[in-house]
Amino acid sequence: MPAPLSQQDRELQKLLSLGGAAPPEPNSYPFNKIGAGSCGAVFAQPGSALAFKLSKTTEFSLWNDYLQHTRIRDMLRAHNIDINIPDCHGYIRAEDAAATLFDKTPALADAARDVCHLPTRVLVTQRINPLPPTIRTLLTNKYCAPRIKANALADPANRDCLVRVYLGSMAGKTGGGMFFSLRNFKLHLNHIIDLQLNLRNVCVQMARSLAIMHWAARTDARDVEFVLGSSAGLSRRTPAFSSAEIHAFATEATTFPSVGPDERDFFCSTTQLWLLDFNLVQDIELNDNALDKLVSAHNANDPYYPKPCQEHPVVEGLWNDFATAYLDTAALVLQNEEDSKTLELPSRFIEALISQEHVKKQTKEH
């Protein structure tokens, strides 16, 4: 007969058994505000993979954010679209937020109190990793006015660096202005052309995602954001050798690359396109009214999407890539659709963007 286990031994036995899970440690790391918009303020702890979007309003729009985020995520995955969208970990109602979150993480309540009326609704998502220090320094050196550069380089807020890609704007400035922020840094098309940066893949990922949001998720994609951030996981800087390659060596060989011992020398984050912010996204019905809604949402968005009818060859190329990728993806999504009027909607959307640009040009000329 084995001796009866003490309370501590029973606990150890439970935790060491496969699947055993230790209770969470009290978490006292501070939270920082990493971003804010009109609906929410977003908080995260340094090094943590979670982002907490706290509602700043009494409206219901954070619940809509959750509904649309998860639907669009599912549709992008179902159609194998090559864009990143944060994982959605869960939603907390305002009336549950004290017991579920704020009482347990007073540091979050402390950070949020000045910005939000607590308790408030919370959406917990995967944090998009910021772009790394080398990129942040290069962006600051190139685009920040010299007299505020030292402050910009030292400002911890600039560590939360995401870059908005404005393929539809040539209005980017360099080196002017009183303020400089790497939070949602706006990279305009004239910057992109000046850097000879090939963003065709970004353009195609944007177009495919928009087609999915329109025709698979059946939404107007209003006010969504496209940003460059870092990859969710680290990838190896050099390819690993396969077992066959190692066995083919005649004798022992060095296979570790000549870098430092730090794992950051060995693994790196890569720049990726992310899609976020779904609180203003509205459902559409597949009928004639949809077109007006889609065009109006498209015009209201920040200028992420390339514009038609522009003379610059790079811009023209981007628009052609955008329109082709959008129409191809829409055709795939709607391949089983029998109603011919519905099938025409994607090309009518593209035509509507072209004709409104013609009208704009004519009005300018007169």
Ligand X SMILES: Nc1ncnc2c1ncn2[C@@H]1O[C@H](COP(=O)(O)OP(=O)(O)O)[C@@H](O)[C@H]1O
Q: Which residues pair with 90 in a beta bridge?
A: 124
Q: Which phi and psi (to 5°) does residue 60 adopt?
A: -90, 10
Nearer to Mg ion, 56 or 204 (CB): 56
Q: Does 132 bind ligand X (CB under 6 A)?
A: no
Q: Which residues pair with 41 in a beta bridge?
A: 36, 54
Minimum gap (Å) between residue 164 Cβ and Mg ion: 10
> Considering only residues 276, 290, 318, 330, which one is a binding residue for ligand X as defined by CB under 6 A?
276
Which of 34-42, 47-55, 153-161, 265-273 is the region at the interface with Mg ion (rule: CB under 5 A)?
34-42
Minimum gap (Å) between residue 23 Cβ and ligand X: 26
Which of 233-241, 277-285, 322-330, 338-346 is the region at the interface with Mg ion (rule: CB under 5 A)?
277-285
Q: Does 111 bind ligand X (CB under 6 A)?
A: no
Q: Is 168 exposed, middle or buried (0-12, 13-18, 19+ CB in 10 A)?
A: buried
Q: What sign for the dihedral angle of Cα 72, 66, 304, 150? A: negative
Q: How far apart are CA 91 and CA 65, in angstroms?
A: 10
Q: Does 172 bind Mg ion (CB under 5 A)?
A: no
Is 86 strand, coil or helix?
Answer: coil
Minimum gap (Å) between residue 186 Cβ and Mg ion: 13
Minimum gap (Å) between residue 200 Cβ and ligand X: 24
Cis peptide before 46 (omega within 30 of 0): no
**CA 332 to chain centroid:** 24
Name the H helices within the chain. 7-16, 61-78, 94-97, 106-112, 133-143, 149-154, 189-194, 200-211, 243-248, 263-266, 288-300, 313-333, 340-365
Minimum gap (Å) between residue 40 Cβ and ligand X: 4
Q: Which phi and psi (to 5°) does residue 214 adopt?
A: -70, -55
Q: x/- contact string, 57-96, with ligand X (CB under 6 A)?
A: -----------------------------x----------
Nearer to Mg ion, 160 or 277 (CB): 277
Q: Does 65 bind Mg ion (CB under 5 A)?
A: no
Interface positions, 1-60, toward ligand X (CB under 6 A): 34-40, 42, 51, 53
Are 228 and 274 in contact by the 8 Å Cβ rule? The answer is: yes
> Considering only residues 54, 128, 202, 330, which one is a binding residue for ligand X as defined by CB under 6 A?
128
> Considering only residues 184, 231, 310, 342, which one is a binding residue for ligand X as defined by CB under 6 A?
184
Nearer to ligand X, 68 or 329 (CB): 68
Are 45 and 29 in contact by the 8 Å Cβ rule? The answer is: yes
| Binding region for ligand X (CB under 6 A) | 34-40, 42, 51, 53, 86, 125, 127-128, 162, 183-184, 225, 276-277, 279
| Binding region for Mg ion (CB under 5 A) | 37, 277
